[in-house]
């Protein structure tokens, strides 16, 4: 929730700043920029983004049977995204978007054993760093232009993600046990954003949430894996596109 609040504030500040700039430069009733832009069948651009990634975890109902473990939590970390935008016009208010993206982030599963928990000792972190190739296919539904040079929109769709640094075949490293995860994942995506029509290009800000549909955990006899029923991705993103 803390990450969502911070990202929402950042998106709001960027949106207000660009809205003010557009209003001052063109005026509410000024001449719209890029009049023929929305009539193009295809257009292209690039994406820069900030993300915070975490897991949705479902652990065993009763950990008491595992004497050495008391509590399991997940923790998300910040990362960034780089992508290429391909946009297909489907109609006046709809676009189909394909945005191959490299996503960099870390996330971890933290374990406390009974003694450490009662002594308030820092938990053991099972950090899973990753570089994902994301292949999303999104439908974008746009409003009419507001103040001539601004649009609001919502978007949704699905993506396939592949971990390019998969540890699915690794069991141990120099810091001990690492959870083994499937390298491929499928996400459902929903988001909102604003388009700003500048003099020479279109700038967009958007906030997206990505929910993993696949249990990433690979079965393993180690206690760290057997105490978890499922691990699914949960990623919050704020993106800036230039098209």
Which tens digit of pLDDT belongs to each residue from 5-39?
Answer: 555 555 555 555 555 555 445 444 457 888 889 89
Please give the residue that has the higher pLDDT: either 186 or 224. Answer: 186
Q: What does the block give as tokens for 80?
A: 């960034």
Structural domain that includes position 90: 2-242
Give the pTM: 0.79
Count up the domains in the chain and report the number: 1
Query: Quick one: pLDDT at residue 213?
Result: 94
Query: Looking at residue 145, which CATH number applies to its domain?
Result: 2.40.160.20
| Stretch (H or E) spanning 11 | helix 2-26
Helix-strand-coil percent breakdown of the chain, rounded to 5?
Answer: 15, 55, 30
Which tens digit of pLDDT belongs to each residue from 25-75?
Answer: 544 445 788 888 989 999 999 999 999 998 888 876 655 555 555 567 777
Query: Quick one: pLDDT at residue 83?
Result: 97
């Amino acid at each position: 929730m803390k990450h969502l609040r911070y990202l929402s504030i950042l998106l709001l500040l960027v949106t207000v700043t660009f809205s003010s700039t557009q209003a001052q430069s063109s005026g509410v009733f000024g001449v719209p920029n890029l009049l023929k832009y929305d009539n193009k069948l295809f257009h292209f651009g690039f994406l820069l983004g900030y993300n915070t990634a975490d897991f949705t975890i479902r652990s065993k109902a009763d950990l008491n049977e595992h004497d050495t473990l008391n509590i399991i939590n997940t923790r998300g970390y910040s990362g960034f995204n780089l992508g290429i935008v391909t946009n297909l016009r489907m109609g006046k208010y709809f676009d189909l978007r394909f945005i191959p993206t490299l996503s960099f982030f870390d996330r971890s599963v933290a374990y406390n054993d009974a003694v450490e928990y009662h002594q308030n000792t820092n938990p053991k972190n099972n950090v899973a760093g990753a570089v994902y190739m994301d292949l999303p296919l999104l439908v974008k539904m746009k409003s009419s232009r507001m103040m001539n040079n601004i649009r609001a929109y919502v978007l949704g769709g699905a993506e396939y993600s592949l971990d390019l640094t998969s540890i699915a075949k690794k069991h141990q490293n120099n810091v001990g046990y690492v959870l083994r995860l499937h390298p491929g994942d499928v996400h459902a995506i929903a988001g909102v954003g604003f388009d700003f029509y500048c003099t020479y290009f279109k700038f967009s800000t958007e906030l997206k949430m990505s929910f993993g549909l696949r249990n990433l955990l690979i079965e393993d006899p180690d206690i760290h894996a057997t105490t978890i029923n499922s691990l699914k991705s949960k990623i919050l993103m704020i993106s800036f596109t230039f098209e």
